[in-house]
Amino acid sequence: MTGSVGTSDHVVLGPGDDAAVVRAADGRVVASTDMYVEKRHFRRDWSSGYDIGRRVAAAGLADVAAMGATPTGVLVAFGAPAELETAWVDDLTAGLRDECAVPGATVVGGDVVQSDQVVLTVTALGDLGGRAPVTRAGARPGDVVAVYGRLGWSAAGYAVLSRGFRTPRALVEAHKRPEPPYQAGPAAAAAGATAMCDVSDGLVQDLGHVAEASGVRVELRTDAFEVPEAFDQVAAALGGADPLRWVLAGGEDHALAATFPAGGVPDGWRVVGAVGEGEGVTVDGAEYETPGWESFAQR
């Protein structure tokens, strides 16, 4: 990959040697890896190299933030056809760099190989700052469920693009470049969050992982969610789609969902439900069938 990838105070030794050296003042390193395959996870006819760089970096960095950690660095493995334009790779690099800069991280290294199509593997690193990691397994009956960040925007943008349209621009851009609330993860950990995850596969599906890991039931209320007017307009234009389904089952916004002791929800978080005895996730007291993301499902 070419172009500047930036630097930060977390990096002792960046790209150019056999390996990078990243500070881990806490003594522990949070790490998360995701793989992206062209036409499966992104389309170059929909998104620029810059868009894709920001999008794949955001997903990994959000995973780190969801553990209550501050993102520090990213490793990128990149496969591409020999004929891929250098300018596109430069744009990809710039997107990776600029998204990492949002939470104060940087690209610290990786690898480049030739492949039949564009493939990316992103490994994000983070620092817990002396705190315990916030896992999916800590929710308890009596906790409240809250979210921070946008929900359904990426799914609505995908619905627009898949029908061959490019507007509303705000929704299309939300699909191309999610805006995870990185700072909210460490802040939630400091405020006493009992469990947390990022919303990558859909809110109901991701909270289902929290419910399973914690041995509880998550109870959501639809009246607690705000459905943007643009969702209603797009749903009507697309033949009556359910905009609330984008909020509840749409992924890739990388909002954060967490559970907190009652009365302990920090500013900026929206309470959308509660934790109870039982299992699974209910919406308004009933089970909710969700088509959340499954990697090996047919598309």
> From CA 251, how far away is CA 40, in angstroms rounded?
15
Query: Residue 35 pLDDT more than 80?
Result: yes
Structure tokens at 299: 């598309």
Instruction: Say if CB 158 and CB 246 are below 8 A apart.
Output: no
Find the helix or strand (DSSP H, E) in which 138 lies: none
pLDDT value at residue 299 = 45
> From CA 83, how far away is CA 114, in angstroms rounded?
10
Question: Does residue 238 or residue 14 have the better pLDDT?
Answer: 238
pLDDT value at residue 3 = 52
> From CA 201, how far away is CA 34, in angstroms rounded?
13
pLDDT value at residue 186 = 98
Round the average pLDDT of the chain to a whole number and report it: 93
Question: Does residue 295 or residue 50 have the better pLDDT?
Answer: 50
Burial of 44-62, coded b for 16+ CB within 10 Å and e otherwise, reads: eebbbbbbbbbbbbbbbbb
**pLDDT mean over 83-90:** 97
> Within the chain, where are the H helices?
49-66, 86-101, 153-162, 169-176, 184-190, 203-214, 229-237, 243-249
Question: Does residue 296 or residue 240 have the better pLDDT?
Answer: 240
Find the helix or strand (DSSP H, E) in which 295 lies: none
Instruction: Say if CB 16 and CB 107 are below 8 A apart.
Output: no
pLDDT value at residue 298 = 45
The dihedral through the CA atoms of 74, 293, 137, 271 has a sign that is positive
**% of the chain at pLDDT higher than 90:** 84
Q: In DSSP terms, which residues pair with 34 in a beta bridge? A: 122
Q: pLDDT grade, residue 5 (50/70/90)? A: low
Q: pLDDT grade, residue 16 (50/70/90)? A: confident
Pairing of strands 106-114, 70-80: parallel
pLDDT in tens, 117-164: 999 999 999 999 999 999 999 999 999 999 999 999 999 999 999 999
> From CA 255, how far away is CA 192, in angstroms rounded?
18
Question: Helix 153-162 and helix 229-237: axis angle, to 10°?
Answer: 20
Structure tokens at 167: 């507007």
**% of the chain at pLDDT higher than 70:** 95
Q: pLDDT grade, residue 289 (50/70/90)? A: confident
Q: What are phi and psi of 50, to 5 degrees?
A: -65, -45
State the CB neighbour count (10 A cutoff) for residue 163.
11
Domains, the chain, with CATH or none: 11-127 (3.30.1330.10), 144-287 (3.90.650.10)
Query: Residue 50 pLDDT more than 90?
Result: yes
Q: In DSSP terms, which residues pair with 119 in a beta bridge? A: 37, 79
CA nearest to 163, candidates 227, 232, 239, 233: 239
Structure tokens at 50: 């810059």
Instruction: Say if CB 44 and CB 138 are below 8 A apart.
Output: no
Q: In DSSP terms, which residues pair with 31 in a beta bridge? A: 125
pLDDT value at residue 24 = 84
pLDDT value at residue 2 = 46
pLDDT value at residue 10 = 82
pLDDT in tens, 192-230: 999 999 999 999 999 999 999 999 999 999 999 999 999
pLDDT value at residue 67 = 98
